[in-house]
């Protein structure tokens, strides 16, 4: 299962926009602008839900934040940027859970090593700050490939733990795709579309990881924030996950011991619809609760990182037309692109795409790697043409 690819469906939509060049010779400028505006509308992110505020006891969670050097390199205004991000998240938390995050520390995190390995990074975060006296310890790390939508690549959190990681969400390839694909729109209109998508992704990734820290599990329904892969339409948590989060917050506020916390979470699990969550996640929480009941530490060992077992629910991920060898090749090339090595494998991707001109996922890989190569817009359009045609067939 490769959520990275599935997901870059959104990039696919951008590439669809890139095909707007077709209109240049045959349609007046205003028709093109009209069409691009409707595309921009479909790419605009959802507003996060307003919340029902039905839970009336306010709780403050003490947060310490450590900001990695790679994040600081990417975001020179890292302090106000993070404060702004927490402020937006707080608005949603207040309306929905009556909780707010109080920043008690926001400082650079002197850290060695590559930013690619999230698992190692969360271990390093636990070493630098054991969480004593805080409710949450958050590490910010640089963005590796923000076009990915698998939450496990965008952030990381231990289930019921105190530690979580968030990546920078700046996405140069998305910005360039908006510039090139919606060229009939005004500069400010395009900039605002990019900014609003980034803000939405930042808030949703933060809430997803915070959700895990508060006991929420991966939701099966792709419309919910706890679904394993990000989408710009996300705006809310499933009711079952809100219940888990409320139970954890209540336990923290009332300083309940781990056995009492486990008991109240078990109560929520017992009353919830099992189909709400992806296979295996409920069991993972139950194991965690057994550890708590046995007097162990929550979140110490079970970072949320397991590849999800959810079925892919987006169109365009079907590889059944490929034989086993090409499927393995696809996985290899996709992995190479995800680690930024598109330059080394591009010719092989082109050859694979030639063999499978009717397979969306393969054409999408070609388009995405062409975008990441940083070649000219005209060449990218060429590489993305077939994928755009297939995308239209999928809609």
Q: Minimal CB distance to Zn ion: which residue?
A: 151
Q: At which residue do the structure tokens 């605009």 appear?
A: 44
Count of positions on this chain that bind Zn ion (CB under 5 A): 2
Q: Are strands 163-167 and 155-157 parallel, antiparallel or unpaired?
A: antiparallel
Nearer to Zn ion, 304 or 364 (CB): 304
Nearer to Zn ion, 129 or 304 (CB): 304
* Partner residues linked to 141 by β-bridges: 167
Q: Select from 151-159, 336-344, 353-361, 366-374 the region that touches Zn ion (CB under 5 A).
A: 151-159
Q: Select from 150-158, 195-203, 256-264, 268-276 the region that touches Zn ion (CB under 5 A).
A: 150-158
Nearer to Zn ion, 151 or 237 (CB): 151
Task: Kindly tell me the burial class for residue 382, based on how many C-beta atoms sit within 10 Å of its own C-beta (0-12, 13-18, 19 or more).
Answer: middle
How far apart are CB 31 and Zn ion at their closest, in Å? 42
What is the contact mask toward Zn ion in residues 52 to 91, using x (rule: CB under 5 A)? ----------------------------------------
Nearer to Zn ion, 157 or 371 (CB): 157
Per-position DSSP letters for 113-173, written without gaps between them: S-SS-HHHHHHHHHHH---TT-SEEEEEE--S-TT--BHHHHEEEBTT-SEEEEE----HH
Nearer to Zn ion, 202 or 304 (CB): 304
How far apart are CB 155 and Zn ion at their closest, in Å? 8
Q: Select from 82-90, 143-151, 162-170, 332-340 the region that touches Zn ion (CB under 5 A).
A: 143-151
Number of helical (H) and strand (E) elements in the chain, helices listed first: 17, 5
Residues 255-314 touching Zn ion, rule: CB under 5 A, are 304
Question: 10 Å Cβ neighbour count for 344?
Answer: 11
Task: Give residues with Cβ within 8 angstroms of 351, minimum separation 6.
Answer: none
Task: Give residues with Cβ within 8 angstroms of 158, minimum separation 6.
Answer: 122, 164, 212, 213, 298, 299, 300, 302, 303, 304
How far apart are CB 212 and Zn ion at their closest, in Å? 6
Two structure tokens written together for 109: 């995190």
How far apart are CB 49 and Zn ion at their closest, in Å? 19
Could you give the 3-state DSSP secondary structure of residue 104? strand
Q: Are strands 136-141 and 155-157 parallel, antiparallel or unpaired?
A: unpaired
Nearer to Zn ion, 151 or 360 (CB): 151
Q: Select from 130-138, 148-156, 178-186, 370-378 the region that touches Zn ion (CB under 5 A).
A: 148-156
Q: Select from 107-115, 144-152, 267-275, 336-344 the region that touches Zn ion (CB under 5 A).
A: 144-152
Nearer to Zn ion, 208 or 385 (CB): 208
Nearer to Zn ion, 174 or 304 (CB): 304
How far apart are CB 218 and Zn ion at their closest, in Å? 6
How far apart are CB 228 and Zn ion at their closest, in Å? 6
Give the Cα separation of 383 and 368 in Å (integer). Answer: 9
How far apart are CB 352 and Zn ion at their closest, in Å? 30
Nearer to Zn ion, 171 or 304 (CB): 304
Contact of 200 with 175, CB cutoff 8 Å? no
Tell which one of 3, 14, 140, 151 touches Zn ion (CB under 5 A): 151
Task: Give residues with Cβ within 8 angstroms of 364, minimum separation 6.
Answer: 5, 8, 9, 11, 12, 316, 387
Catalog residues that contact Zn ion under the rule CB under 5 A. 151, 304
């Amino acid at each position: 299962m490769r959520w990275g690819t599935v997901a870059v469906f959104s990039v696919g939509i951008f590439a669809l926009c890139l095909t707007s060049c077709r209109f240049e010779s045959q349609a007046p400028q205003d028709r093109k602008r009209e069409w691009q505006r409707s595309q921009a509308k479909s790419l605009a992110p959802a507003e996060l839900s307003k919340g029902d505020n039905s839970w009336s006891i306010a709780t403050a969670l003490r947060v310490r934040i450590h900001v990695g050097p790679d994040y600081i390199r990417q975001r020179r205004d890292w302090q106000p940027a993070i404060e702004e991000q927490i402020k937006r998240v707080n608005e949603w938390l207040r309306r929905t859970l009556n909780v707010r995050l109080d920043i008690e520390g926001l400082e650079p995190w002197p850290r060695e090593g590559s930013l690619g390995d999230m698992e190692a990074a969360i271990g390093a975060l636990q070493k630098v700050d054991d969480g004593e006296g805080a409710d949450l310890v958050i590490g910010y790390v640089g963005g590796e490939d923000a076009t990915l939508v698998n939450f496990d690549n965008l952030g990381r959190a231990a289930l019921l733990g105190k530690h979580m990681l968030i990546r920078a969400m700046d996405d140069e390839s998305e910005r360039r795709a908006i510039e090139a694909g919606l060229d009939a729109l005004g500069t400010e209109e395009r900039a605002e579309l990019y900014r609003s998508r980034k803000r939405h992704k930042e808030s949703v990734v933060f809430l997803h990881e915070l959700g895990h820290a508060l006991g929420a599990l991966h939701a099966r329904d792709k419309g919910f924030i706890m679904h394993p892969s990000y989408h710009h339409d996300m705006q809310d948590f499933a009711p079952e996950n809100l219940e888990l989060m409320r139970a954890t917050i209540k336990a923290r506020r009332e300083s309940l011991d781990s056995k009492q916390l486990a008991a109240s979470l078990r109560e929520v699990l017992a009353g919830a619809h099992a189909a709400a969550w992806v296979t295996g996640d409920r069991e993972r929480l139950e194991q965690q609760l057994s550890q708590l009941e046995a007097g162990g530490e929550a979140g110490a060992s079970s970072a949320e990182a397991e590849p999800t077992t959810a079925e892919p629910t987006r169109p365009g991920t079907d590889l059944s037309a490929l034989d086993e060898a090409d499927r393995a090749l696809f996985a290899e090339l996709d992995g190479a692109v995800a680690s930024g090595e598109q330059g080394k494998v591009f010719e092989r991707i082109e050859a694979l795409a030639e063999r499978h001109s009717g397979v969306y996922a393969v054409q999408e890989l070609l388009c995405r790697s062409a975008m990441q190569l940083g070649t000219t817009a005209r060449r990218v359009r060429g590489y993305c043409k077939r994928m755009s045609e297939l995308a239209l067939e999928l809609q």
